[in-house]
């Protein structure tokens, strides 16, 4: 009568049956199951990959004022400190990246800089210390690398000046350092603090007139780790505003100057193992007098390709315009003021996405102190 009842019969069934049962779970339940134990996590990760009938990432459409308010309130709750768009470093396919030393969560040392990676849909957050010897001072510039349709793991790419990058992989919990071998005039020029990730590479604009392509995985030849791609000649004009973004797996370069607004697509061609790049103009608005005032007295913050909206900053007013076919500007308006929405646009943040697939950040004996999972209320 007092015989102890086993805590779980699941581990007593054949492994093939375990896999079939776990394989029937939805993505949200798989995320919860992976938090039960290391063995269950490994079992989920070794399941056959499902065919992607649709992307696990979904664009958040405008207006997003209330959503932004709730999003940053939730992030502040998790990190136990107030954060807003100014503290947001990057957003990539549903993940958010912060870096600060104000966190007051129980398992995070206050006053020490950590990177925080969050997914507000799957309710996940991890805190990652900066590389050894670099855990004080500002964060430098960093960006996220994450594509849930390719891999469950994410990477943080931190620029250590313009000659080296530190890369954290959530697959092994290790920081590595890679060298960038670029021409001196590219190294000496100013680099824009905005990057995009696409197909294994991070792209960043340089005022030398180049788009820097940085391969995230280590290359056998250091000269192949990074390469400069020449931009279109018209982008070198005085008072020309730039931006880069990604839409449907294509990299777009945006220029706005005078009465012109243009969007180019990067075209990559490989012939006999030699890669060449060219720019294809996909959107051009010329002789728009209304643009002259914006380009001369304002600053292009960002272009959101899915909404076809460009945001400009002029003093305390935010203006935007969008087009609907035939390369015409349909409207120019002042964005209604909202503290968080205004700051989000003022700092040129990218379009926001929701990701329904959980990310993975592995713990092991060798690197058990590399990052901390922060408790997240449901």
Instruction: Note the pLDDT tens digit of each residue in 225-261.
Output: 999 999 998 888 888 999 999 998 999 999 998 888 8
CA-derived radius of gyration, the chain? 23
The gap between the terminal CA atoms of the chain, to the nearest Å, is 38
Determine how β-strand 317-323 pairs with β-strand 124-129: unpaired
**Residue at 7 is within a domain:** no
Please, which contacts does 293-301 make with residues 24 or more away whose CB atoms are closer than 8 Å? 294/256, 294/319, 294/321, 294/332, 295/239, 295/241, 295/256, 295/257, 295/258, 295/259, 296/239, 296/258, 299/241, 300/241, 300/242, 300/243, 300/254, 300/256, 301/243, 301/345, 301/346, 301/347, 301/348
SS3 call for 71 = helix
Cβ atoms 358, 125 nearer than 8 A = no
What's the confidence (pLDDT) of residue 62? 59
Same domain assignment for residues 39 and 62: no
Same domain assignment for residues 219 and 143: yes
Task: Read off the CATH number of the domain in which 214 is found.
Answer: 2.130.10
Same domain assignment for residues 97 and 22: no
Nearest to 191 by CA among 154, 172, 165: 165
For residue 18, is pLDDT > 80? no
The pLDDT of 67-86, averaged and rounded, is 90
> Which two three-digit tokens encode residue 281?
């103009």
Same domain assignment for residues 82 and 25: no
Close Cβ partners of 104 (under 8 Å, ≥ 6 residues apart): 79, 80, 81, 110
Same domain assignment for residues 277 and 358: yes
The pLDDT of 123-130, averaged and rounded, is 88
**Residue at 118 is within a domain:** yes
Of residues 190 and 55, more confidently modeled: 190
SS3 call for 358 = coil
SS (H, E, C) 203-265: EEEECCCEEEEEECCCCCCHHHCEEEEECCHHHHCCCCEEEEEEECCEEEEEEEECCEEEEEE
Same domain assignment for residues 22 and 73: no
Most confident of 199-213, 282-296, 357-371: 199-213
Mean pLDDT in the chain? 83
**What count of Cα atoms within 13 Å lies in the side-chain half-sphere of residue 28?**
6
Same domain assignment for residues 251 and 368: yes
The C-alpha atoms of residue 42 and residue 340 are separated, in whole angstroms, by: 40
For residue 53, is pLDDT > 60? no
Same domain assignment for residues 117 and 32: no
* 162-215 pLDDT, tens digit each: 899 999 999 888 899 999 999 999 999 999 989 999 999 999 999 999 999 999
Close Cβ partners of 325 (under 8 Å, ≥ 6 residues apart): none
Of residues 3 and 340, more confidently modeled: 340
Task: Grade residue 52 by pLDDT with cuts at 50, 70 and 90.
Answer: very low
For residue 118, is pLDDT > 90? yes
The count of residues in the chain is 378
* 132-169 pLDDT, tens digit each: 766 555 667 899 999 998 888 999 999 988 899 999 99
Cβ atoms 359, 170 nearer than 8 A = yes
Cβ atoms 157, 210 nearer than 8 A = no
How far, in Å, are 45, 56, 319, 378 from residue 53 at the CA level?
A: 19, 9, 38, 28
Same domain assignment for residues 27 and 76: no
What's the confidence (pLDDT) of residue 182? 94
| Orientation angle between helical segments 15-23 and 38-45, nearest 10 degrees | 70
**Residue at 273 is within a domain:** yes
Q: In degrees rounded to 5, what are phi and psi of residue 222?
A: -60, -25
**Residue at 3 is within a domain:** no
DSSP letters spanning 319-342: EEEEE-STT-EEEEEEPPP-HHHH
**Residue at 179 is within a domain:** yes
Q: How many domains does the chain have?
A: 2
Same domain assignment for residues 27 and 79: no
**Residue at 4 is within a domain:** no
**Residue at 190 is within a domain:** yes
Of residues 173 and 63, more confidently modeled: 173
**Checking phi first, is residue 201 left (phi over 0); if not, alpha (psi -120 to 50) or beta?**
beta
Same domain assignment for residues 73 and 118: yes
Q: Which domain holds residue 20?
A: 13-43
Same domain assignment for residues 132 and 38: no
**Residue at 1 is within a domain:** no
């Amino acid at each position: 009568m007092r015989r102890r009842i086993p805590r779980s019969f699941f581990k007593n069934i054949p492994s093939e049956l375990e896999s079939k049962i776990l394989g029937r779970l939805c993505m949200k339940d798989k995320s919860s199951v992976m938090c039960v134990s290391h063995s269950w996590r490994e079992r989920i990760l070794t399941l056959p990959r499902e065919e992607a009938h649709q992307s696990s990432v979904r664009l958040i459409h405008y207006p997003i004022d209330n959503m932004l308010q709730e999003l940053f309130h939730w992030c502040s709750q998790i990190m136990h400190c107030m954060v807003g768009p100014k503290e947001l470093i990057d957003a990539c396919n549903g993940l958010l990246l912060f870096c600060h030393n104000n966190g007051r969560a129980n398992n995070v040392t206050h006053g020490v800089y950590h990177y925080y990676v969050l997914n507000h849909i799957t309710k996940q957050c991890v805190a990652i210390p900066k590389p050894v010897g670099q855990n004080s001072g500002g964060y430098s510039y960093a960006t996220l690398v994450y594509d849930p349709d390719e891999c469950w793991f994410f990477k943080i790419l931190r620029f250590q000046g313009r000659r080296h990058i530190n890369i954290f992989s959530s697959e092994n919990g290790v920081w590595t350092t890679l060298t960038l071998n670029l021409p001196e005039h590219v190294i000496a020029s100013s680099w824009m603090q905005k990057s995009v990730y696409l197909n294994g590479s991070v792209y960043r604009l340089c005022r030398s007139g180049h788009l820097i392509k940085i391969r995230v995985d280590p290359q056998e030849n250091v000269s192949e780790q990074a390469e400069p791609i020449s931009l279109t000649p018209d982008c070198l004009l005085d008072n020309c505003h730039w931006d880069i973004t990604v839409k449907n797996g294509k990299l777009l370069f945006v220029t706005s100057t005078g009465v012109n607004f243009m969007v180019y697509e990067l075209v990559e061609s490989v012939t006999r193992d030699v890669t060449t790049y060219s720019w294809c103009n996909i959107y051009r608005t010329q002789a728009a007098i209304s643009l002259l005032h914006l380009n001369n007295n304002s600053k292009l913050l960002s272009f959101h390709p899915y909404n076809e909206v460009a945001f400009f900053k002029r003093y305390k007013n935010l203006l935007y315009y969008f087009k609907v076919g035939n390369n015409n500007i349909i409207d120019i308006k002042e964005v209604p003021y909202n503290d968080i929405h205004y700051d989000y646009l003022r700092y040129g943040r990218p379009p926001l996405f929701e990701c329904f697939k959980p990310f993975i950040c592995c713990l092991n004996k060798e690197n058990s102190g590399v990052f901390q999972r922060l408790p997240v209320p449901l």
